[in-house]
Amino acid sequence: MSDNINEPWGNTVLVEFDEHRIAWVRFNRPDKRNAMNPTLNREMLATLDHLEDDDRCAVVVLTGSDDAFSAGMDLKEYFRETDGKPRSVQHRVRGEGTNWQYRKLLNYAKPTIAMVNGWCFGGAFVPLVSCDLAIASEDATFGLSEVNWGVTPGNLVTRALAETIPTRDAMFYIMTGQHFDGKRASEMRLVNEAVPADQLRARTIELALQLTSLSQWVVRGAKMGFRHSRLMSWEAAEDYLYAKHDQAILFDTDAREQGMTQFLDDKTYRPGLGTYATTAE
């Protein structure tokens, strides 16, 4: 249930709910192009924890304030302010980012969509890839500029690229530091699609509504089945995927029955072309 009193956002992260039960989670450091600092990382983890149990949220859309998604890690707070400090401090700061950008998002209970509305650089690639789906503005600017200032890509950025785009493209942008736009990001499959900026929000809502029209237990089982089984042997994957299949049916007994009945008996829809009509909750 919702608990408005203990909402953890409001400083470096903003959350807005709409009538579609979309939670618009926005990085909110516009003066820094929404660069992620330790405060934002802590607030993002608390925000995602809260939204998992908030009935106002069925889908999380991750985006940024003003004209940026996120410029990546805040170099001053990540590097300058931790230089010379004990290694434990550096590990803690790094871990605070990884906790939500990778571990939390990758296994999130609700569907997640990254809406890249502008500048997206460096460390921002990790939460981008960890979201289930991603849509970008055609004129958004992406880049891995780390080599331009004398370091290698930090955190799990390189692993995120290996998860999504072809090796040749990844090597090119990692090694040259060149930037690219949303259209190119879509061509490489870093994002699902790129649309004109004035259509970005509407297209994101359209996709979110498609996700919420389905059984949430089935959607979750389907996404986790893919994420984990692709790293397993065929034998282990068979056992795991059947367990996810049975779990979805156990927790949402109506979904399969409605879908089968409306297709086989009522003949009111075709599964290959649409979804069954859900009953009102």
Q: Which are the catalytic amino acids?
A: 73, 78, 123, 146, 242
What gap in Å lies between CA 124 and CA 24, rounded to an integer?
A: 17
Q: Are 132 and 104 within 8 A, CB to CB? A: no
CA angle 91, 97, 45 (to 5 degrees): 125
Specify the residue for token string 């990758």. 106
- Residues pairing with 180 in the sheet: 142
Q: Which of 157, 162, 97 is nearest to 126 (CA)?
A: 157
Contacts of 252-261 spanning 24+ positions with Cβ under 8 A: 252/215, 252/216, 252/217, 252/218, 254/215, 254/279, 255/214, 255/215, 255/217, 255/218
**41: helix, strand or coil:** helix
CB neighbourhood size of 269 (10 A): 14
What token pair was written down for 61?
A: 């859309």
